[in-house]
Amino acid sequence: MALPERILMGPGPSTVPDRVRRAMAAPTLGHLDPRFVELLDETSSMLRELFRTSNELTFPVSATGMGGMECVVANLLEPGDQALVCINGLFGGRMADMMERYGVTVHRLEKPWGEVFTVEEIEAEVHRHPKAKVLAIVHAETSTGAHQPLEGVAKMLHEEGMLLLVDVVTSLGGHEVDLDGWYIDAAYSATQKCLSCPPGLAPVSFSPAAVEVMERRKSTVGSWYFDIGMLAKYYQGRSQRAYHHTPPVNSIYGLHEGLRIILEEGIDARIERHAKMHRRLRAGLEEIGLDYLPEQSLHTLNCVLVPKGVDESGVRATMLDTYGVEIGGGLGPLAGKVWRIGLMGHSATQANVDLVLAALVDCLE
Ligand SMILES: *Cc1c(COP(=O)(O)O)cnc(C)c1O
């Protein structure tokens, strides 16, 4: 199959290193093969390191990031529950929609796309709805580039008996994510953003408090595929693994290798590399007169305003055809107004930053 080589600098997927692709080409083993089970356990253990957690219930769900969201939502909440959802972009809105489909009453705390929430704003909402079971928030809003601070949020929720659910899809592996340090109860991510593996797996993690809440459920989980009670019998089965579904064995080889690459680089060094590449890109963009969406603060996703009179999608098409570089367009209210330039994992290099800048200069002329 002749497919073009691309440099992926959009909102995901990011470029997959050769080491990961080679790992995925290894022979497929049975999902109960002791060697595969060992490799799966190593994968979950490296995920704990990256999430900075000791949560037992940490593993890769067989689905993309949206499946990770669905797994967390379906298990933590049940029909009749109330939840608070912070919405300042596309993915917060999706969490609210998903919860409502599971029979949850959702209270939406909304801000304009691109802004973040203060602890005081969240606290006021928590006091307005003290019966809510969960507060859900996106750490890295890929639709806008907003970087939501999370320190201090969980403490106030826990005082009210609520759990904190966080989307760390575009932050894990690129920004500091500290599940235990920030007392996060449930989080999900995806392999194709800052982990630089192909799409298809969603790392998730649940705190002991979240596990307790799930054990106290009155109703069965509304999703068969994502039922944690059944999934745990396979992923945490020790020597007794119960078949639930056949996990995508070769994708797990890829994630295992991707996580090894991350730990070899070092989590702190990797986060610093993303910060450095973001500063370089930002300085270069400002030099050519391009502005960021106001308040944008993520390193991994750079949301840049399209100058007046410029053909937004035409520039993206030329970048792809002439330079083989993929960047993203805007979603929802930002459609046609912004470009989204990803600096994720293996894509976040100085060579790529300089290429994207040169290509943009050329396209804008
Ligand atoms: C990409 C993304 C998702 C969804 O992941 P998919 O792998 O596309 O299903 C969810 N949340 C955020 C913040 C994302 O950036």
> For residue 65, how far is its CA from the centre of ligand 1 (angstroms)?
5
Question: What residues are paired with 305 via a beta bridge?
Answer: 338
Give the separation between CA 352 and CA 365, rounded to whole angstroms: 20
Q: Are residues 36 and 172 in the same domain?
A: yes
Q: Are residues 193 and 273 in the same domain?
A: no
Q: Are residues 300 and 323 in the same domain?
A: yes
> For residue 34, how far is its CA from the centre of ligand 1 (angstroms)?
32
DSSP designation for 333: G
Residue 73 included in any domain: yes
Q: Which atom of ligand 1 is nearest to the CA of 192?
A: 7
- Walk across the sheet containing 163-167 and list its strands: 57-61, 202-206, 186-188, 163-167, 134-138, 82-87, 105-110
Looking at 263, 283, 317, which one is the last position of a domain? 263
- Domain tally for the chain? 2
SS3 assignment, position 4: coil
Q: Are residues 64 and 197 in the same domain?
A: yes
Q: Are residues 130 and 273 in the same domain?
A: no
* pLDDT value of residue 58: 98
Q: Which atom of ligand 1 is nearest to the CA of 69?
A: 10
CATH number of the domain at 137, please. Answer: 3.40.640.10
Peptide bond into 198 cis (omega under 30): no
Residue 119 included in any domain: yes
Residue 326 included in any domain: yes
Q: How many degrees, rounded to 5, is the angle at CA 85 between CA 80 and CA 90? A: 125
Q: Which atom of ligand 1 is nearest to the CA of 301?
A: 15
Q: Which residues contact 347 (CB under 8 A, 6 or more apart)?
A: 7, 8, 9, 14, 15, 196
> For residue 3, how far is its CA from the centre of ligand 1 (angstroms)?
24
Q: Which residues contact 249 (CB under 8 A, 6 or more apart)?
A: 28, 29, 30, 31, 36
Q: Are residues 276 and 308 in the same domain?
A: yes
CATH number of the domain at 276, please. Answer: 3.90.1150.10
Q: Are residues 218 and 308 in the same domain?
A: no
* pLDDT value of residue 343: 98
Looking at 198, 232, 263, which one is the last position of a domain? 263
> For residue 13, how far is its CA from the centre of ligand 1 (angstroms)?
10
Q: Are residues 248 and 284 in the same domain?
A: no
Query: Strand (E) positions, the chain?
Result: 7-8, 57-61, 82-87, 105-110, 134-138, 140-141, 146-147, 163-167, 186-188, 202-206, 301-305, 325-326, 328-329, 338-342
Residue 111 included in any domain: yes
- Atom 4 of ligand 1, residue of closest alpha carbon: 65
Q: Are residues 258 and 272 in the same domain?
A: no
- Cβ atoms within 10 Å, residue 41: 14
Q: Which atom of ligand 1 is nearest to the CA of 12?
A: 1
Mutate to test the pocket of ligand 1, among 62, 87, 91 (most ligand atoms within 8 A of CB): 91
Q: Which residues are near ligand 1 (CB < 6 Å)?
A: 12, 64-66, 91, 138, 140, 142, 167, 169-170, 190, 199
Residue 2 included in any domain: no
* pLDDT value of residue 240: 84
Distances (CA, A) of 339 to 143, 314, 336: 10, 12, 8
Nearest to 268 by CA among 149, 190, 173, 171: 173
Domain boundaries, position 281:
7-12+267-364
List the chain pLDDT tens, one digit each, 365 residues.
899 999 999 999 999 999 999 999 999 999 999 999 999 999 999 999 999 999 999 999 999 999 999 999 999 999 999 999 999 999 999 999 999 999 999 999 999 999 999 999 999 999 999 999 999 999 999 999 999 999 999 999 999 999 999 999 999 999 999 999 999 999 999 999 999 999 999 999 999 999 999 999 999 999 999 999 999 999 997 778 989 999 999 999 999 999 999 999 999 999 999 999 999 999 999 999 999 998 888 999 999 999 999 999 999 999 999 999 999 999 999 999 999 999 999 999 999 999 999 999 999 98
Q: Which atom of ligand 1 is nearest to the CA of 190?
A: 7
Looking at 263, 294, 325, which one is the last position of a domain? 263
